[in-house]
Structure 1
Amino acid sequence: MEVERVQAIASLSLSSDTIPAEFVMAETEQPAATTFLGPIPEIPTVDLSDPDEQNLVRSIAEASKEWGFFQAVNHDIPAEVIRRLQEVGTEFFGLPQEEKEVYAKAADAKSIEGYGTKLQKDKNGKKSWADHLFHRIWPPPRINYQFWPRNPPSYSLSIGLGLEGQVLKEAVGGEEVEYMMKINYYPPCPRPDLTLGVPAHTDLSTLTILVPNEVPGLQVLKDDHWIDANYIPNALIIHIGDQIEIASNGYYKSVLHRTTVDKEKARMSWPVFLEPPPEFVVGPLPNLLNPQNPPKYKSKMFKDYAFCKLNKLPQ
């Protein structure tokens, strides 16, 4: 069965100035009705070149506790590397449809790797305005080059970042952490007031490191308000994921976020999800627990956690 891609639907929709009904979100989720328009709280920006290590640790910890989210600047990843990453991803989504379909995820695949469109609808029966490409980029034995595009020829990537102390790092996979890359492609949309590129969700990862393009769209929930994240050139957007929330027994928050789309331009983002190995058991760190702070989460293998989350089953 041939899957209809959002990129193709967008091409038809732009000429009619309407979008199919299955993309129109419930009114409680429509960006025009729910984006916060009051005085905007300042989303944390962390300068990773801060020579005062105590101040840097405090800034990261506070942002992770209060927001589950921050933008990292002066991170030492060259602007040219980020530019090339954006360039090859943009080129891939500019390929003819039949070339992209070479990398399509098989309908019966157990892995999420490959080119695709999220087929499952949300709780209100609505679809997201986005296509994507998923593939694992680290460690080398876990890479499946079947899903690495050969066109454009320059498709390659090297990215790494370390933020947390050793104890928390070991609790969520240590040196065995796997890096899953995704490219999100949100085509121009004639009714960006009614739909979402991605509905509200938290990431099931340990940590997510995201590079956006210059088209705004990321929103985070803070104090029951959906707040726009400003675009900062060359900044990395850091999302605290579910596994850090679990390991910290809820001290750090996995950020609830969503993506809006643009009427004129394609929005793109390049998240890298840092995930424990499938069989690795994540649970609240024992040294954080006491009678006043009992475990709030079950300990379980990451693959079981991911299965429950992706299939909307109770944890």
Structure 2
Amino acid sequence: MDILISNWSNVEFVPKTYIFPPESRPGKLEFPICNDIPLIDLAHNNSDETIQQVIRACQEFGFFQVINHGISENLMDDTMNIYNELFKLPSEYKAKFYSNDTNKSCKIFSSTLAYDTEEVHYWRDTFTHRCNPLEEHIPSWPDKPTNYREVVSEYSIETRKLLNKILDMICKGLGLNLGYFEGELSKAHLISVNHHIPCPNPSLTLGMPAHSDPNLITMLQQGEVPGLQILKDGKWIGVKHIPHTLIIIPGLQLKVISNDRFITPVHRVVTHPKEARTTIGVFLVPSPEFLIKPATTLIQTVPVFRDFTYPEFLETFVDRRPGKIKFPVCHDIPLIDLANNHPNDAIQQVIKACQEFGIFQVINHGVCENLMDDTMNIYKEFFKLPSEYKAKFYSNDINKSCRLCSSTLAYDTEEFHYWRDNFTHHCYPLEEYIMTWPNKPTKYREVVSEYSIETRKLLYKILDMICKGLGLEKGYFEGELSKTNVISVNHHIPCPNPSLTLGMPVHSDPNLITLLQQCNVPGLQILKDGKWIGVQPIPHAIVVIPGLQLKLS
């Protein structure tokens, strides 16, 4: 099958490689339409009022449409027609531009630039090229349709003027010097056009992934066929097409420069069962060498974001997203039966798992199933308690022995938050710490104290097995090496788009040894042979992770 979907015809079913897992499919075909997206008239007589409308839209909605924007309707129609013709050209001609090389200035590709390695493809072809400076890039553009270069060069000039006009309005509204965004901050200028052929079953696939635009600012010209959606209040809602309006989306760089005053919306594209859909996007992007940071005049106390270059931003923000939602499950994580009749076999299994895998699961470990279930239920109840009660424990103070935090202890200074709440407290010696623990749910102290005693016994049992396996004295790890005993519980509420966020950062455990009790909801992953793989929960099994201190020992 041809990679470019624009070369397909008479498609009767969705190919398997385009069908998303049930949890990430759009599902239902009917979505509510958003009727309160700001619509701003750029020819308004009161320019100060228009500026305030733009600022308010960037702060409250992160998304707006403009009319009377200065780009002629004829030019918009001609450009849209050019691109509709381009995608209908013979496959041999389009093949000249096909490339997944991110450095190629003019290219066509299908789904994403990671087409060859991604598990599921998006229902789109994309044609993109650079536009600034025009004279440098125009020779690489297509010479078909016949007037492509003539029409698109005029369109690129006019849309750049419009985006610069809006950026100047943002300058005035934020109190920045006029021209703040000119030069290196908006040096790269791209046109990127998405084309979606009719899809036999739009409920199974997506035209574009859910994402926020990482660049400075985006302009979109939609056709008449619906498909663009934004995530608002946790729900996907459609963006209605208004003829000859243009959509403006402040990118994440504007969010940074505004010192977090602006919103950058999450949006995606769904497909249509009967009609092809084409959308023209125009993007202004910072130059790779330029240092991006919050505008000095907008920093009241401390900057929300650190300084970075655009490539650094892409590496730390875009590339650390999990992306695809379905990951392979690892079936060869060692599963060790601690009730093995041959203890020497079990010891060798533990040593081998520590040496070759660095993680293992144990069964028949001595912690009773009822206690495990009771403890898990206690924590589920705890996170459902009223916010006023949980607030008593909220703290980012690392020295506090019993605390509840969100994301990490660096919440106030970190650029991006992790999708979790974390409750942690010290457990040893028990009599010293138990009175600092919650008294709700009612049985918290009774159940968790028993759990902490039993799990500490289990960890010492495993450490003794490691002692024997390594030829160390029995009790080598007792005393100061394992003096502190901490329970730390992570809670993750359902996430509307797991491809965009993480529940915990990538890390290795810095302590001596860790015991994990998973629930039946998957999420834990390990990096194996350069790929992330899921750790399948096994009922009442316990995951054991040797920490970095064991590695040193």
Q: Which moved more, 1:23-32 or 1:58-67?
A: 23-32
Name which of 252, 261, 281 aligns with 1:242: 252
TM-score (normalised: structure 1): 0.87
In our comparison, the structure showing a higher alpha carbon Rg is 2
d(CA) in 2 for partners of 1:58, 1:196? 35
Match of 2:19 in 1: 24
TM-score (normalised: structure 2): 0.51
Match of 1:261 in 2: 271
Secondary structure (helix, strand or coil) at the match of 2:283 reads: strand
d(CA) in 2 for partners of 1:279, 1:259? 32
Q: By how many angstroms is 1:307 displaced?
A: 4.6
Secondary structure (helix, strand or coil) at the match of 1:231 reads: coil
How do 1:201-280 and structure 2 match up within 5 A? 201-280=211-290
**Structure showing the higher helix proportion among its residues:** 2
- Quick check: 1:83 aligned with 2:91? no
Change (3 A) 1:310 1:247: same
Q: By how many angstroms is 1:110 displaced?
A: 2.7
Q: By how many angstroms is 1:225 displaced?
A: 1.5
Q: By how many angstroms is 1:276 displaced?
A: 1.5
d(CA) in 2 for partners of 1:36, 1:189? 17
Match of 1:69 in 2: 63
**1:35–1:227 CA contact under 8 A, matched in 2:** no
- The AA in structure 1 aligned to 2:262 is Y
d(CA) in 2 for partners of 1:11, 1:119? 23
d(CA) in 1 for partners of 2:236, 2:177? 29
Q: By how many angstroms is 1:303 displaced?
A: 3.1
Gaps of 5+ in 2: 323-414, 416-553
- Quick check: 1:154 aligned with 2:173? no
Match of 2:97 in 1: 103
How do 1:42-57 and structure 2 match up within 5 A? 42-57=36-51
- The AA in structure 2 aligned to 1:6 is I
d(CA) in 2 for partners of 1:28, 1:257? 17
d(CA) in 1 for partners of 2:274, 2:289? 44
* 1:81-132 alpha-carbon deviations (Å, 9 max, x no partner): 0011001111110101111111222x455346411112526x9932210001
Change (3 A) 1:206 1:108: closer
Change (3 A) 1:163 1:263: same
Change (3 A) 1:171 1:307: farther
d(CA) in 2 for partners of 1:55, 1:35? 36
- The AA in structure 1 aligned to 2:27 is A
Percent identity of paired positions between Structure 1 and Structure 2: 29
Match of 1:304 in 2: 312
Count matched residues: 305
d(CA) in 2 for partners of 1:192, 1:254? 26
d(CA) in 2 for partners of 1:85, 1:295? 41
Name which of 114, 134, 137 aligns with 2:107: 114
